[in-house]
């Protein structure tokens, strides 16, 4: 899943981005409000983490403009200001949740997962497909009870397929969801990651065509 982090405090931004990446999220990080709004409108994010006190464009104004553009992506505001009036202003601007700094990282990531579940009725605590099971809270994947040791991109691919199990995903769809703007590679890279993921699934006992290629269109999970 892809998250936009708009935070100008380098220490907080670095720690939070690393924590989110460790939990298999794809993270775009920007440090001012104008860039944050540009990024938010340019890509299909699953969640936006938004500081209020930002250079160039403050978080309240950014959120208001984002909502006026018809965007419904969940927004979680981060701020050092802890008064009920500040919270009301943030929520009235269109934020879905509000966290006060300094925050506890495990609690914040738990609230991120809860907010994602509330915003998407298809987002379940456990993702399953036949004998394949993925637990987003622990980032563990098993097949028939066997633990799979996946790279972050392999995990992201599998999660994307499980969350869209009735869709054929094109390479461009996959790139948009699993790579940040800074890291976006060519589409051939997807074939390499899929090859390695399929190999690990087969080693755990999964059918070789569990992730099937739909020629000319993309990839999808296949029922056996």
Tens digits of residue pLDDT in 185-197: 778 888 999 999 9
Both structure tokens of 119: 């915003």
115 lies in the same domain as 134: no
Task: Say if residue 113 is in the same domain as residue 140.
Answer: no
The reply to whether 112 and 141 lie within a common domain is no
State how many domains the chain has: 2
Task: Report how far residue 12's alpha carbon sits from residue 102's, in angstroms, rounded to the nearest whole number.
Answer: 9
Lowest mean pLDDT among 32-41, 120-129, 177-186, 214-223: 120-129
For the chain, the residue count is 224
pTM of model > 0.95: no
Nearest-5° Cα angle at 193, 192 to 199 = 95
Q: How many CB atoms lie within 10 A of CB 42?
A: 11
Shared domain check, 115 and 29: yes
Residues 113, 173 within the same domain: no
Residue-wise pLDDT for 2-28, tens only, equals: 999 999 999 999 999 999 988 889 899
Domain hosting residue 170, numbered range: 127-221
Residues 142 and 213 in one domain: yes
């Amino acid at each position: 899943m892809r998250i936009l982090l708009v935070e100008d405090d380098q220490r907080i931004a670095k720690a939070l981005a690393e924590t989110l990446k460790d939990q298999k999220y794809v993270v775009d990080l920007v440090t001012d409000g104008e860039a944050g709004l540009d990024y938010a409108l340019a890509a299909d994010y699953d969640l936006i983490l938004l500081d209020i006190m930002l250079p160039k464009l403050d978080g309240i104004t950014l959120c208001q403009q984002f909502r006026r553009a018809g965007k419904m992506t969940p927004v979680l505001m981060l701020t050092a200001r802890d008064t009920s009036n500040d919270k009301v202003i943030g929520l009235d601007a269109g934020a879905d949740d509000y966290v006060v700094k300094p925050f506890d990282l495990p609690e914040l990531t738990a609230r991120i997962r809860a907010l994602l579940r509330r915003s998407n009725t298809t987002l379940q605590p456990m993702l399953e497909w036949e004998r394949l099971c993925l637990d987003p809270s622990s980032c563990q994947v098993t097949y028939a009870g066997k633990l799979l040791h996946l790279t972050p991109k392999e995990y992201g691919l599998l999660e994307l397929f499980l969350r869209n199990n009735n869709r054929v995903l094109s390479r461009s769809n996959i790139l948009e969801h699993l790579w940040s703007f800074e890291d976006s590679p060519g589409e051939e890279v997807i074939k390499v990651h899929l090859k390695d993921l399929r190999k690990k699934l087969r080693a755990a006992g999964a059918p070789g065509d569990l992730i099937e290629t739909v020629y000319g269109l993309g990839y999808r999970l296949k029922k056996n």
